[in-house]
Amino acid sequence: MNLNATLFAQMVVFFILWWVVAKFVWPPLVKALDERATKVADGLAAAERGKADLESAKKNALSKHYQKHVTKVLSVLLMQRSALNNQRKKLKLTHKLKQRALLPKLKQKQSNKYLVQEMRLELKWLHWLLRVLSKFCVVKLMQKCTQAC
């Protein structure tokens, strides 16, 4: 056998094999690899969107929860404040009526002072509670906002 003819035949067979692989095998293989890469990229993007959606849902749920409790507390405080104002008006009215009825002035002053002191303490307490709750809610909302940013 001739070494040049064998080498030439091997080169021809190699180029035919290379052409068959390049023409029929390589394009589907590259296509499958590209499809797999896009599926992986889409899956990672979907996971990131899911994480972001979960975080936003948690933030919305917490803010709604705090808002619900704050509105309840504020409504109770406002009702108590209006009740105290009504009670104060009634006391003033009864005080005027008692003065007109010429009851002993000393007894009236002492009882009214006591009631006014009670009302002042109650209003101070309600005012303090409102300030504390509003500061608490503002701090919690600021913490949530800073965590979100």
Each residue's pLDDT tens digit, 109-144:
667 777 788 888 888 888 787 777 777 776 666 666
How buried is 126 (Cβ within 10 angstroms: 0-12 exposed, 13-18 middle, 19+ buried)? middle
60: Cα within 13 Å, side-chain hemisphere: 6
- Write down the pLDDT at residue 13: 96
The SS3 of residue 149 is coil
pLDDT, the chain, mean:
81
**Could you tell me the pTM of the whole model?**
0.37
The SS3 of residue 141 is helix
User: Are the beta carbons of 133 and 67 closer than 8 angstroms?
Assistant: no
